[in-house]
Amino acid sequence: MLKTNNRRIVFPAFINAVGENQKVGNKNKFAQPKLDLLQPLRIWLDKLEIPNRKLAKFIAKLIPAQCPFERDVMLFGRKIGHIPPMCKLNPLYDQLVGLRFRALCYLVDQCGEDIQSYC
């Protein structure tokens, strides 16, 4: 509690934080496990091996290096707005970026190709 101008100001965030430390142990005991429907697909994408050059090139071309939705909105040569990248909203974003990285690494390490055209 804080006293200013004869008024009491209560900060519930501070008061609840002290009491929540005792409740955290109880919540964990009865917490139900979260169901993640995309987990099998995430695991499959993470374990996917790149066996040949043709597949590696296909993956590198299919998955873009940058978010294709990010744009600057221009009107008469002036920037009036910006559309932020939306790719991070994709629940499989990290797995797809990792797959593209593994494909590019395969092209460089195993095939000896120059990957500048994919960037």
Chain segment 24-77, per-residue pLDDT in tens: 555 666 777 788 889 999 999 999 999 999 999 999 999 988 888 888 899 999
In a domain, 6, yes or no: no
Looking at residue 25, its pLDDT comes to 55
How many domains would you assign to the chain?
A: 1
Range of the domain at 111: 34-118
In a domain, 55, yes or no: yes
In a domain, 96, yes or no: yes
Give bridge partners of residue 7 from the DSSP assignment: 4
Looking at residue 60, its pLDDT comes to 93
In a domain, 11, yes or no: no
pTM of the model: 0.65
Question: Cα(96)–Cα(102) distance, rounded to whole angstroms?
Answer: 10
In a domain, 20, yes or no: no
In a domain, 68, yes or no: yes
Looking at residue 23, its pLDDT comes to 53
The separation between the first and the last C-alpha atoms of the chain, rounded to the nearest angstrom, is 57
Question: Cα(54)–Cα(42) distance, rounded to whole angstroms?
Answer: 23
In a domain, 104, yes or no: yes
In a domain, 63, yes or no: yes
